[in-house]
């Protein structure tokens, strides 16, 4: 069969489709977005009508995937690492309920924070939930693991966590496919009370989860993704997790690494293999992208011998993603660099597209805020976060999805007047609605600007469940209709925007301003698509 050229994210999607998945649930977030997008455009997925719409947030995504698994079908939930914080509640509990059809939760971590607020390592969550984890080292493994992950989940009747990182997610390579499996039929769980986590029942289920730990460890020991590659020079042993294995091998182009290597691709950690390498070798270098997850566990608190090295002792930098040069340096190799970046090169930070509606909103907001003083605008996560950079410097916070409204509330409770939140339409449905309800409950004096561009723009223009219903949602949650104000953010309405913003900033209660204009990226794209369609019709 012809090889497919796929991103790591796409390889997971193809593997899941070929592995018999019936539904994917996700909220877009770099670097995980392309998994779901691939399923949305895939022929087999369309033919089979695999569920592939976006969810309101990561928590609803994991819960829906769990529901599909309850019904016996294979389901996947996808998110970026910080999304797993949002979904932590159902994620941990799904390990207790167990699953019926295979349930795989795929999380893309972002070491080096290419596009994120932090670098957290999802393997800690996997260990916390005590479930098996898969961590591919390359695109082919990403495909194979996704394909096999449902079976692994069904074998142990618990969810499986699949962990990838930005680099693998957004790098392309040729993939060999496997035979396409059919979907599971509808079935119900054997034990009808399994999914009811009342304390008495949860205790029983938890014991069950503890009881299978040794078998999932054994599965990891035997897994083909955990490999012990022997080497003559035992002065050093190298443990390489996931993609770190590739950076290691890059330093030995002829596959001639003289040291024993333990390649880890499946967790819980393969303890007997770890035992072997730690006992056999004088020193150990741990290579892992993300946190020192393996290193910490094998080092233990009292080992001060210095035998085990890695991120904790500075052999590898504590933060940032790995690369072949960092690994080479830790192995004592010389990094050759012939040229420096000339001084003439200036920084080029990202910025709002020219013509973007957010520009007009910030211009109007900045001008109005001049009358009220600085440091009172709380923002959220999306394209509009770029308003923190010059020339606007318009916003003063960006913490997590939905935090703008709740932080503005806390500040207002502390006496800040006016207290302003800027949030996008998609982020508002993700985590802003409950925050707004808190404000309504106490009639907190906050002004919430929902910058409505009719899409989830930052991740490339995905649909959002709130599109076209924002006013209704706000009024439904209890905002007074006369304080829900819709604007058109365009330079020609500049004065009018200022007038409305000023009025609402002066109001001692909850007000919502909705500046509405479609993201120009999605608008241009849909115009182009219409044109191509029209041409096809006329031809």
> Using the rule CB under 8 A, which residue among 47, 179, 535, 538 binds another protein?
535
Give CA–CA dist 407/414, Å, rounded: 11
- Nearest approach in angstroms of CB 519 to ligand SF4 is 3
Regarding 323 and contact with another protein (CB under 8 A), the answer is: yes
> Using the rule CB under 8 A, which residue among 349, 414, 415, 492 binds another protein?
349
What does the block give as tokens for 342?
């000339």
- Contact flags string 434-473 toward another protein, x per CB under 8 A: ------------------------xxx-------------
- Nearest approach in angstroms of CB 13 to ligand SF4 is 23
Among 442, 375, 462, 400, residue whose Cα is nearest residue 78:
462
Residue 34 contact partner, candidates ligand SF4, another protein, none, CB within 5 to 8 A by sort of partner: another protein
Regarding 374 and contact with another protein (CB under 8 A), the answer is: no
Q: Which is nearer to ligand SF4, 333 or 528 (CB)?
A: 528
SS3 call for 485: strand
- Nearest approach in angstroms of CB 114 to ligand SF4 is 17
Among 512, 500, 517, 387, residue whose Cα is nearest residue 452:
517
Among 167, 22, 196, residue whose Cα is nearest residue 96:
196
Regarding 328 and contact with another protein (CB under 8 A), the answer is: yes
Among 226, 313, 242, residue whose Cα is nearest residue 276:
226
Regarding 456 and contact with ligand SF4 (CB under 6 A), the answer is: no
Regarding 383 and contact with ligand SF4 (CB under 6 A), the answer is: yes
Q: At what angle do helices 199-211 and 213-222 cross, to 10 degrees?
A: 30
Regarding 350 and contact with another protein (CB under 8 A), the answer is: yes
Instruction: Please give the sequence-ordered ranges of beta strands (E in DSSP) within 408-492, or none if there are none.
Output: 420-424, 446-451, 484-487
Q: Which is nearer to another protein, 323 or 366 (CB)?
A: 323
Residue 335 contact partner, candidates another protein, ligand SF4, none, CB within 5 to 8 A by sort of partner: another protein
- Nearest approach in angstroms of CB 497 to ligand SF4 is 17
Contact 385, 392 (CB under 8 A): no
What does the block give as tokens for 104?
């795989």
Regarding 395 and contact with ligand SF4 (CB under 6 A), the answer is: no
- Nearest approach in angstroms of CB 124 to ligand SF4 is 32
Regarding 388 and contact with ligand SF4 (CB under 6 A), the answer is: no
The footprint of ligand SF4 on residues 347-376 (CB under 6 A) is: 352-353, 356, 358
> Using the rule CB under 8 A, which residue among 71, 312, 353, 498 binds another protein?
353
Provide the edge-to-edge strand list for the sheet that holds 377-379.
377-379, 420-424, 446-451, 510-515, 484-487
Instruction: List Cβ neighbours of 484 (8 Å cut-off, separation of 6 or more).
Output: 471, 474, 475, 511, 512, 514
The DSSP call for residue 230 is -
- Nearest approach in angstroms of CB 422 to ligand SF4 is 13
Contact 286, 247 (CB under 8 A): no
> Using the rule CB under 6 A, which residue among 453, 456, 462, 511 binds ligand SF4?
453
CA distances from 58 to 65, 87, 336, 427, 536 (A): 10, 5, 43, 12, 38
Residue 453 contact partner, candidates ligand SF4, another protein, none, CB within 5 to 8 A by sort of partner: ligand SF4
Q: Which is nearer to another protein, 164 or 484 (CB)?
A: 164
> Using the rule CB under 8 A, which residue among 1, 335, 414, 537 binds another protein?
335
Regarding 467 and contact with ligand SF4 (CB under 6 A), the answer is: no
Residue 520 contact partner, candidates another protein, ligand SF4, none, CB within 5 to 8 A by sort of partner: ligand SF4
Candidate ranges 3-11, 41-49, 317-325, 514-522; the one touching ligand SF4 (CB under 6 A): 514-522
Q: Which is nearer to ligand SF4, 97 or 385 (CB)?
A: 385
232 exposed, middle or buried (CB, 10 Å; 0-12, 13-18, 19+)? exposed
Instruction: List Cβ neighbours of 462 (8 Å cut-off, separation of 6 or more).
Output: 28, 33, 37, 54, 426, 455, 456
Q: Which is nearer to another protein, 150 or 247 (CB)?
A: 247
Among 239, 225, 243, residue whose Cα is nearest residue 165:
243
> Using the rule CB under 8 A, which residue among 43, 232, 346, 374 binds another protein?
346
H runs (alpha helix) in 265-355: 271-280, 293-299, 324-330
Provide the edge-to-edge strand list for the sheet that holds 160-165.
21-26, 74-80, 103-109, 160-165, 133-134, 266-267
Neighbouring C-beta atoms of residue 203, cutoff 10 Å: 12
> Using the rule CB under 6 A, which residue among 307, 388, 520, 525 binds ligand SF4?
520
> Using the rule CB under 8 A, which residue among 325, 367, 438, 503 binds another protein?
325
Contact 74, 150 (CB under 8 A): yes
Regarding 1 and contact with another protein (CB under 8 A), the answer is: no
The DSSP call for residue 289 is S
Q: Which is nearer to ligand SF4, 48 or 525 (CB)?
A: 525
Contact 52, 40 (CB under 8 A): yes
Q: Which is nearer to ligand SF4, 313 or 524 (CB)?
A: 524
3-state secondary structure 153-167: HHHHCCCEEEEEEHH
Candidate ranges 238-246, 406-414, 482-490, 515-523; the one touching ligand SF4 (CB under 6 A): 515-523
Binding stretches for ligand SF4 (CB under 6 A): 352-353, 356, 358, 383, 453, 457, 519-521
| Chain contacts with another protein (rule: CB under 8 A) | 3, 5, 30-31, 33-34, 114-115, 138, 167-168, 170-174, 243, 246-250, 253, 323-325, 328, 335-342, 344-353, 383, 385-386, 458-460, 532, 535
């Amino acid at each position: 069969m012809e090889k497919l050229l796929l991103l790591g994210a796409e390889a997971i999607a193809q593997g899941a489709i070929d592995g018999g998945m019936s539904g994917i649930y996700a909220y877009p977030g770099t670097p995980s977005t392309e998994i779901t997008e691939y399923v949305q455009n895939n022929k087999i997925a369309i033919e089979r009508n695999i569920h592939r719409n976006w969810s309101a947030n990561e928590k609803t995504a994991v819960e829906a995937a769990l529901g599909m698994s309850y019904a016996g079908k294979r389901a996947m939930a996808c998110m970026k690492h910080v999304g797993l914080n949002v979904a932590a509640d159902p994620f941990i509990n799904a390990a207790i309920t167990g699953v019926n059809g295979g349930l795989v939760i795929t999380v893309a971590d972002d070491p080096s924070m290419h596009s994120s607020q932090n670098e957290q390592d999802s393997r800690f969550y996997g260990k916390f939930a005590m479930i098996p984890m898969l961590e591919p080292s390359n695109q082919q493994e990403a495909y194979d693991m996704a394909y096999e992950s449902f079976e692994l989940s069904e074998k142990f009747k618990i969810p499986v966590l699949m962990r990838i990182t930005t680099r693998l997610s957004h790098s392309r390579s040729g993939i060999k496919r496997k035979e396409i499996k059919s979907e599971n039929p509808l079935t119900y769980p054997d034990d009808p009370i399994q999914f009811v986590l009342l304390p008495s029942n949860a205790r029983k289920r938890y014991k069950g989860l503890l009881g299978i730990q040794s078998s999932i460890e054994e599965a990891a020991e035997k897994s083909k993704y955990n490999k012990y590659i022997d080497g003559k020079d035992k002065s050093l042993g190298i443990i390489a997790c996931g993609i770190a294995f590739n950076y290691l091998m890059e330093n030995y182009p002829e596959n001639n690494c003289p040291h024993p290597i333990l390649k880890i691709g499946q967790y819980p950690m393969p303890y007997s293999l770890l035992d072997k390498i730690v006992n056999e070798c004088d020193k150990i270098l741990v290579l892992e992208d993300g946190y020192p997850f393996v290193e910490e566990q094998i080092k233990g608190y009292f080992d001060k011998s210095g035998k085990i090295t890695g991120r904790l002792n500075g052999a590898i930098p504590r933060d940032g993603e790995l690369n072949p040069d960092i690994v080479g340096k830790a192995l004592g190799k010389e990094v050759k660099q012939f040229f420096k970046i000339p001084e003439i090169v200036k920084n080029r930070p990202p910025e709002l597209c020219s013509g973007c509606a957010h520009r007009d909103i910030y211009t109007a907001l900045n001008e109005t805020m001049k009358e009220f003083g600085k440091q009172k605008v709380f923002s959220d996560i999306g394209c509009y976060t770029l308003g923190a950079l010059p020339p606007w410097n318009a916003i003063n916070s960006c913490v997590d999805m939905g935090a703008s409204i709740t932080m503005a509330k806390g500040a207002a409770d502390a006496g800040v007047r006016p207290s302003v939140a800027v949030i996008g339409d998609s982020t508002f449905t993700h985590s802003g609605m409950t925050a707004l309800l808190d404000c309504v409950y106490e009639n907190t004096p906050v002004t919430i600007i929902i910058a409505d561009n009719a899409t989830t723009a930052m991740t490339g223009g995905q649909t959002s469940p709130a599109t076209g219903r924002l006013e209704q949602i706000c009024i439904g949650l209890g905002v007074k209709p006369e304080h829900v104000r819709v604007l058109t953010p365009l330079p020609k309405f500049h004065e009018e925007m200022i007038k409305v913003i000023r009025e609402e900033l002066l109001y001692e209660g909850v007000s919502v301003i909705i500046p509405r204009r479609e993201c120009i990226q999605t608008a241009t794209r849909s115009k182009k698509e219409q044109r191509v369609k029209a041409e096809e019709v006329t031809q």
